[in-house]
Structure 1
Amino acid sequence: MPPSPALPGPSGDRPPDVAKRILPPNPRAAAIVALSFTLVLYLVELADVILPGDLDHGGILSRRLSGLDGVLWAPLLHAGWSHLFSNTVPVLVFSFLAMAAGIGRWVVVTAIVWLVSGAGVWLVGPAGTYTVGASGLAFGWLAYLLVRGLFNRSAGQILVAVVLLGIWSGMLWGLLPGTTGISWQGHLFGALAGVLAAWLTSRGDRRARAAKLVPGGSLGA
């Protein structure tokens, strides 16, 4: 009779669960990606200073079809150097940590946050105002990092979330309206998108793991 399929044993021969990593598997590559993305933000701001016109008009203009394409460009634009400086450290740290499951996973999470946060701003943002900045991405990555451990049932990731919350808890005030010139809508929808990304990716991981299980199998001849 044909041999039974081999399944991982109960001990240390089971491969590590990539979804529960707390640091990128290739820190150097992750650092290069995070630094490269941040460099792009600085180059875009430099171009905005040098070139005639105002690139910030490529941002999100809420509830106008002419401003819908700003969803694609708004995270790359900033309202001056001080705006960009305030986003730099969160972008570097959160984007790096969000690559814990690999750069491919980071691309998926970033795409979800990018589009959902932008769409939210376009729907409910202030009329007649252009919204720009990478803070929506920063809030999305932070929210993803804060909740992924709950979905993945990972004590290590929950511990990282506690540390991040202790350091950047002040950012959470940005989710509330009241500060002039700050898009709380971008922050809020970015955070909601981060939670959505954590749920979707963890659900996909569970399905992938379930598909690899072969019930009743053991090593035999």
Structure 2
Amino acid sequence: MKQKDSFQFSTGVIAYPLFFVLCIWIVFWFEVRFGYHFNKYGIYPKTLKGLRGVLFSPFIHGDIKHLYHNTIPLFVLSSALFYFYRPIAWKVLGYGILLSGILTWCIGRSSYHIGASGLIYVLVSFTFFKGVFAKHYRLIALSLVVVFLYGSMIWHTLPIEEGVSWEGHTAGLITGLLFALIFRKQIAKPKKYVWEDPDYNEDDDPFLKHFDENGNFIEQLEVEEEPEQETPTYNYIYKEDGVKSEK
């Protein structure tokens, strides 16, 4: 990933995450307004019918509390994804939904698994490990921010709370780590200084020419003076009418 292709703000940084969040709120509003319950369209492990939840489950939430707790981290993390990793943002989102959903389908309990929390764990895991692998100061700073804000989410990958799909969280965590490894080559490389180049030669460095052998700054460099051009001389004669002409 070229650095010029990332770290740039655009309307998509806000628009795409906002659109996704708006979609899940519209789905919940539709359920409440018309009395529908879409839980049956969630992931139901190890059944052919339950596979449809791989696509539908991120848009389905059990109640307003469930929806609210997923909205803010989903918006923040997806915005960071589009800002720092724009060239691969859609791949991470699309494949993240698919792979984390399939893993949940494979390891989950016999129950309906719904909510966008699996995708949130994909984004948390991907953002953290990607920054670690990149060794780029901005991406490492982003990883630290993610740990500070959402580090406690790691506990929800364990079966410590009844009614919470820890399988979906674990699947998202694993998926994010895999993506950080798969897309490792598409990482913004830290800027290298000229002296880090293996072909660097101090004698050819124009900056070092301003210093002597002891490291003292040379105020003026000796510049070879160009020979002065001789000023042409002219002989003048006057015609009979008094007009001067050059000879």
- The TM-score with structure 1 as length reference comes to 0.79
Partners of 1:104 and 1:48 in 2: CA distance: 35
> Which consecutive unaligned segments of at least 5 residues does structure 2 have?
189-247
Two-structure CA RMSD over aligned residues (Å)? 2.2
| Residue of structure 1 equivalent to 2:159 | 177
Answer yes or no: is 1:162 the counterpart of 2:144. yes
Relative to total residues, which structure has the larger helix share, 1 or 2? Answer: 1
CA deviation after TM superposition for structure 1 residue 197, in Å: 1.4
Answer yes or no: is 1:89 the counterpart of 2:75. no
> Which consecutive unaligned segments of at least 5 residues does structure 1 have?
1-14, 207-221
CA deviation after TM superposition for structure 1 residue 27, in Å: 4.0
C-alpha deviations, 1:102-143, integer Å up to 9, x for none? 54511100122111110111111111x111000011111011
Answer yes or no: is 1:40 the counterpart of 2:26. no
Change (3 A) 1:65 1:103: same
Partners of 2:158 and 2:131 in 1: CA distance: 25
Partners of 1:163 and 1:103 in 2: CA distance: 19
- The percent identity for this pair of structures is 27
Higher RCO structure, 1 or 2 (CA under 8 Å, sep 6+): 1
Report if the CA contact (8 A) 1:18-1:101 is conserved.
no
C-alpha deviations, 1:32-87, integer Å up to 9, x for none? 11111100010011112223442111000111111111111001111111100010
Report if the CA contact (8 A) 2:57-2:116 is conserved.
yes
Q: Secondary structure at the match of 2:82?
A: coil
C-alpha deviations, 1:137-188, integer Å up to 9, x for none? 1111011110112222312211211122012211111111121110011111
2:54 pairs, out of 66, 71, 78, with: 71
1:148 pairs, out of 125, 130, 145, with: 130
Larger radius of gyration, structure 1 or 2? 2
What is the correspondence of 1:19-58 to structure 2 with a 5 Å cutoff? Answer: 21=6, 23=7, 25-58=8-41
The residue identity in structure 2 corresponding to 1:17 is Q
Q: Secondary structure at the match of 1:144?
A: helix
What is the correspondence of 1:68-217 to structure 2 with a 5 Å cutoff? Answer: 68-101=51-84, 103-127=86-110, 129-204=111-186
Alignment size in residue pairs: 189
C-alpha deviations, 1:1-21, integer Å up to 9, x for none? xxxxxxxxxxxxxx96257x5
